[in-house]
Structure formats: C-alpha cells, structure tokens
Copies of this chain bind each other. A is one copy, B any other.
C-alpha cells in the first residue's frame, strides 16, 4: 500500500489563536482536501498567532519533525503590519516557487481587484512544499484549486508519496517523460 501523505494545515491569526473567533480557514482547507484527494492522507492542524518566529518554528517543525510533504497556511498575507506569513515562509525556504503566488493572485483577481494586495508565496523546505493561502474560506478554495493540479507532481519531484486525486474535482497532472 502506498504510504499516507502527511499534510500540515496552519491557520495564522491573532484572533483565532486567542479564541476571539472560530477559525474558518483551517477547516475550509481540510474540507477541500477531503473532497479532492483519493490517496491516503493524514493532517496536522495548528492555529497560531501572527508572530514571525512562531510561524517559522511551526513550519520547521511540520516539515522537519512531522515529515509533512505539503504544508498549507491560511492568513497573514496582506499589507497590514501584523501580516508576516510570507516573510516567515521565505525565511525557512530552501527554494522560492514564484509561480504559485502568481497564479493564485491571477485567479483571485478575476473575482476581486484587491487580490493584488495578497502577498502569498510558496517555497520548498527539504522535502516539503509550503503554500500560503489567503484567509477567507472562499478565496482558499479558489487559490488551492488553481494550484492543486501541480501539487502531486511537485511532491513526486521532492521524493514524497504518490498522491492521487478525484479527477472529477481536480485532475493531477504528471508530464510524460
């Protein structure tokens, strides 16, 4: 049996981490993954404050200790002073993946002109792909849906488990060699 893929989900939000309101972003990501993935997976889910050292430590732990092949963050990508998720993500990166942010902003821009305010990026750390998503549940589905077809092959290239998807939702693409 193919090994299960470990996926980290990190909500970055001062208010959700204090319990001031219920986190909607993390569950939206988990719901999306349940719909889309057909191979086995398990998740580690964290809700943390918009503190750069804490975000960096969480990403390092999920990548290096928990062995997550994919780590998805939500929140903290805007221009406000407390929004530091992209900086924390790039700080733990071995490689920057500019194509993810470009495509996610392009897709969001078809809905709202303020999509250009999102600074979301994606990076490689070791064998983990880390992707920033915006905070709003609707935008999460749009953005994750846009990049999902490329994620299984990216994990292949990093030496991770073979991920499959329900083709009626998302068709994973693997180039023929």
A172 to B, closest residue via Cβ: B113
Q: Is A63 an interface residue (CB 8 A)?
A: no
Tell me the minimal C-beta distance from A121 to chain B in angstroms.
8
Q: How far is the CA of A87 from the CA of B101 in the complex (A)?
A: 18
User: A129-B79, A157-B79, A157-B80 known; A105 and B99 CB under 8 Å?
Assistant: yes
Pick from B95, B99, B113, B124: contact of A149, CB under 8 Å:
B113
Q: Is A154 an interface residue (CB 8 A)?
A: yes
Q: Is A13 an interface residue (CB 8 A)?
A: no
Q: How large is the interface on A (under 10, 10 to 19, 20 to 34, 35 or more residues)?
A: 35 or more
Q: How far is the CA of A129 from the CA of B99 in the complex (A)?
A: 21
Q: Is A102 an interface residue (CB 8 A)?
A: yes
Q: Is A147 an interface residue (CB 8 A)?
A: yes
- Count of this chain's copies in the oligomeric assembly: 3
A116 adjacent to B95 (CB under 8 Å): no
A-to-B contact residues, CB < 8 Å: 78-81, 83, 86-87, 94-103, 105-106, 109, 112-119, 121, 124, 129, 136, 147, 149-150, 153-154, 157-158, 173-175
A158 contact set on B, CB distance < 8 A = 79-81
Q: How far is the CA of A138 from the CA of B169 in the complex (A)?
A: 28
Pick from B114, B147, B154: contact of A175, CB under 8 Å:
B114
User: A101-B98, A119-B97 known; A78 and B157 CB under 8 Å?
Assistant: yes
Q: Identify 23 residue pairs between A and B in the complex whose beta-carbon atoms are under 8 Å apart, listed by A's number.
A: A79-B95, A79-B154, A79-B158, A80-B158, A81-B158, A86-B95, A95-B119, A97-B117, A98-B98, A98-B102, A98-B105, A99-B117, A99-B118, A102-B116, A103-B109, A112-B173, A113-B149, A113-B150, A114-B149, A115-B150, A116-B150, A117-B154, A117-B157
